[in-house]
Structure 1
């Protein structure tokens, strides 16, 4: 028998939250082990172990992840280092089967939870919290260096989490939280990185596709559903079990990323699973959502299906919804044309779980199209709070 004792686990304060149609493990920066308070391998190793990755079985049984892109997420929040902001929000998309955390983008769904979490974590001055009303929490999104304003409802001095707002893709109703994505386009370049509203995207083995390449909310590649053999009414089972289809979408994503200037060679796409997203659009049609309810064509302006981390998303990523809102409000994009064309300030689109209304204000300037703000409603709720445990040998703790 070995005399070597088994290393114990360490516990880290954490909160498990749902935000929109996603959920993840939330940390206060100061609660992390010292070695994980700065970017680097120690932080990544900790988050991978918390979520249960990499898992060759693709189940994340030995961690907090739920084995989907929507549930393999981590969040670090701290008091903001930026003027006129309350908190800094750093998002890590944890790969399910590979040993890396993708820091290249934001999670729009979890953005809705940042406001409630900031209040729960003591980052908001109690003097700003009314007995009844709304607190506008100004969030600095560290990954993309953008401002998000989360309007948190308050009842009897506490965050209102329950309510009657229904969000397709979420089983139970909750309190509505308005989320404003301020100036969501890429700060370092044009909203349309190629300068075109529609590009010819050459994809070997697939052909030349019309594509709208946009960087608003998150870099996104939009193509017409019919051009790749789809209707726009597909559900997860129609695509996620089709390895040939998934390989096609990944090829489109890689070549789109190259054309957008996000990567310099195709191999880099493998280590950048979170961005860009690839989505396909179509004109309205009646279809049955994953819940079984019927979405009538007259209820929606267009159909959108999007892939995240290599799989068709069960609803819609919040950041992709921002991209949809921005593209829909610019006349001539594929998204706008699918919605009937012309000037728009909002659209309601159909996704696998139902519908979502998003709005944006777009203006044309000498420098090109600019979106000043994109708006959507989400909800959020604390699911569990306490400590998450990881084996002590996961990282070298400082």
Structure 2
């Protein structure tokens, strides 16, 4: 329960965690104030105030957010109501400058942290936890109604957080956590919502170009870098400091969302910032990563740059990595062609911070493609735990 610690502020039990190349504030559902334990305005108001949004300055100084899409995140975990699952995981992407929490998709990076958090929060039965070994935490991802299996290493009965596994985009090494995204394609429709591996996407004011529209992990629009005037080697400053470029990407994203059937009118894209994602792909080239390290063409199968919440991501969103894996392993998509074409079971792609290897098992059934599983390695670590404080009026008015 929340604990009123002063007349003006309430404190709510919370854990601040890094998962993959993202970080966010994690809550047990039972620890939220009663009004915030159910979806609605009270929950959204609480999470926005925790993160420090909406902030017209774009800095989130008065909250836990880090003023980027990768750090403006919240997670709610509870014992699962689904058969054969351990926990339910609900993800809220908090807008930095708008009064909005986007519940339309998952965060693949923070998915890696849900397993360790579930153990830490006492949501996994003690008899499931070995003295030394791996705990396969079965997670029901509530936003997208999918199963994720998080393989958590345990040493001396405790979650192993430190280790030698290095993840580009994360400064320090940590313990490796394998994350399996089971049947990640849209359960209600086709993995390729238009029925095509490649579509002609007509964007007024921008042009008409090829696009692969896929719903696996998260709805994603893939275009060729060259078709929009890029190389695929760009870093954040090359795009995020260019207002015209950002406006172009948002226009493409809106028209792609319309073609995918995610929205009915272009204006709806403004209130659906988290999905779909937009990414551009290119064949391998040598480039300098944001850390100053050279990534050679020989190290990668293709290059991918993706935008999240209107900005070029510093590495790669985990859910977009699922989409990359799925699209790369289906012959004929733009992602697959950039990786050399043909049958693929895994690819290593270059992103602004370095490289990432992802694998997928795909099958063609009844003239439609199905992805059975996407696998990637991440890491996770608790950064801080205790209580997060919010003005009492936030809860009272929710």
* TM-score, normalised relative to structure 2: 0.98
- 1:358–1:374 Cα contact (<8 Å) kept: yes
Matched, 1:89 2:89: yes
1:17 counterpart residue number: 17
In structure 2, runs of 5+ residues without a counterpart are 1-5
Matched, 1:264 2:249: no
Correspondences of 1:184-263 after superposition (within 5 Å): 184-263=184-263
- 1:315–1:351 Cα contact (<8 Å) kept: yes
2:134 counterpart residue number: 134
2:314 counterpart residue number: 314
- 2:281–2:303 Cα contact (<8 Å) kept: yes
- 2:185–2:370 Cα contact (<8 Å) kept: yes
The CA deviation at 1:128 is 1.0
2:144 counterpart residue number: 144
Distance of 1:111 and 1:170 partners within structure 2: 16
> Matched residue of 1:305: which SS?
strand
Distance of 1:69 and 1:302 partners within structure 2: 24
2:43 counterpart residue number: 43
> Matched residue of 1:115: which SS?
helix
Matched, 1:381 2:381: yes
1:73 counterpart residue number: 73
| Runs of at least 4 residues off by over 6 Å | none
The CA deviation at 1:7 is 5.0
2:345 counterpart residue number: 345
- 2:176–2:377 Cα contact (<8 Å) kept: yes
The CA deviation at 1:395 is 2.9
Aligned CA RMSD, in angstroms, stands at 0.9
2:26 counterpart residue number: 26
The CA deviation at 1:397 is 7.0
> Matched residue of 2:124: which SS?
coil
- 1:34–1:397 Cα contact (<8 Å) kept: no
1:102 counterpart residue number: 102
CA shift digits 1:31-71 (9 cap, x unpaired): 00000000000000000000000000000000000000000
CA shift digits 1:325-367 (9 cap, x unpaired): 0000000000000000000000000000000000001111105
- 1:86–1:139 Cα contact (<8 Å) kept: yes
2:3 counterpart residue number: none
- 1:7–1:391 Cα contact (<8 Å) kept: no
2:287 counterpart residue number: 287
The CA deviation at 1:209 is 1.2
2:360 counterpart residue number: 360
Aligned residues: 393
Point out the more displaced range, 262-271 or 6-15: 6-15
CA shift digits 1:301-320 (9 cap, x unpaired): 00000000000000000000
Distance of 1:397 and 1:143 partners within structure 2: 26
Distance of 1:349 and 1:202 partners within structure 2: 27
Distance of 1:362 and 1:250 partners within structure 2: 30
1:297 counterpart residue number: 297
CA shift digits 1:269-328 (9 cap, x unpaired): 000000000000000000000000000100100000000000000000000000000000
- 2:33–2:395 Cα contact (<8 Å) kept: no
> Matched residue of 1:226: which SS?
helix
* TM-score, normalised relative to structure 1: 0.98
2:330 counterpart residue number: 330
